[in-house]
Structure 1
Amino acid sequence: MRNLLVKTVANAAALAVAVWLLDSITLTGTNLATRVLTLLAVAVLFGLVNLLVKPVVKLFSLPLFLLTLGLVALVINALMLLLTSWLAGKLDLAFHVSGFWTAVLGGVIIAVVSWAVHAALPDDD
């Protein structure tokens, strides 16, 4: 349970940094509390997308991983971020990523920040 909480906090922090750095990734809300709750909900949604969808996409794109020496992972991360943005819109969460290249850069930022926060926070592993 603690590991899930650590991963959610790491995702939320990474998404917050991406929202802060990139103008094309938006998180809107009337006050700070609603933005934080929306960010946590999007972090859970992003974690679910990465848990359920990403392994299937990686399996089907295995030849591309080999051909591009793993660079297709940037595209897959961008697609997972765009899928999260689309699902957030369907769930009336105020999170939006506009554009593929923004999603690529946002995916890189989220991966780096999430790794750093996850390394800094303790977990059960």
Structure 2
Amino acid sequence: MLRFIVQAVVTAIGLWLSARIVPGVDFTSTGSLIAAAVILGLVNAFVRPILVVLTFPITVLTLGLFLLVVNAAMIGLTSMFLGGFTVAGLWAGIGAAIVTGVVSWIAGAFIGDDRR
């Protein structure tokens, strides 16, 4: 449970930074940002694995770059569920996926992984 909360906080920071950097990504309040982070965590836990398996052939053909589209789709799906979080198009979703991924990668380097 603590790991999910930490991941949600890191995701919220990534989404906040995405809203500041990427045109077309916006949120209306802090509450909607936190809700978007939690919903994105749930979408990534349940929907993303199915989509990754279904799109595996095209992911191999594009040498993994199609995963950016999958991540953008998960962010877009989150914005469809939540009215206070908007993503205006595929390119804004890809930009948000890149920024959120980089923030998660940096946070993972500092936090570490205690699953060993």
Q: TM-score, normalised by structure 1?
A: 0.85
1:124 Cα deviation after fit: 4.7
Q: Give 4+ residue runs of structure 1 displaced > 2 Å after superposition.
A: 117-125
1:8-27 alpha-carbon deviations (Å, 9 max, x no partner): 11111101100111231111
Q: Is the 8 A contact 1:3 1:123 kept in 2?
A: no
| Structure 2 counterpart SS, 1:9 | helix
> 2:103 maps to which residue?
113
Asked if residue 5 in structure 1 is aligned to residue 9 in structure 2, the reply is: no
Give 1:17-96 correspondences, 5 Å limit.
17-28=17-28, 35-89=29-83, 94-96=84-86
Bigger-Rg structure (1/2)? 1
* Runs (5+) with no aligned partner, structure 1: 29-34
Distance in 2 between the 1:77 and 1:66 partners? 16
Distance in 2 between the 1:119 and 1:41 partners? 25
| Structure 1 counterpart SS, 2:86 | strand
Q: TM-score, normalised by structure 2?
A: 0.91
> 1:14 maps to which residue?
14
* Runs (5+) with no aligned partner, structure 2: none
Q: Is the 8 A contact 1:81 1:103 kept in 2?
A: yes
| Structure 2 counterpart SS, 1:96 | strand
> Are residues 122 and 36 of structure 1, via their aligned partners in 2, closer, same or farther at CA, if it must alter by over 3 Å?
farther
1:123 Cα deviation after fit: 6.4
Identity of aligned residues (%): 37
Count of aligned positions: 115
1:106 Cα deviation after fit: 1.1
Distance in 1 between the 2:32 and 2:112 partners? 24
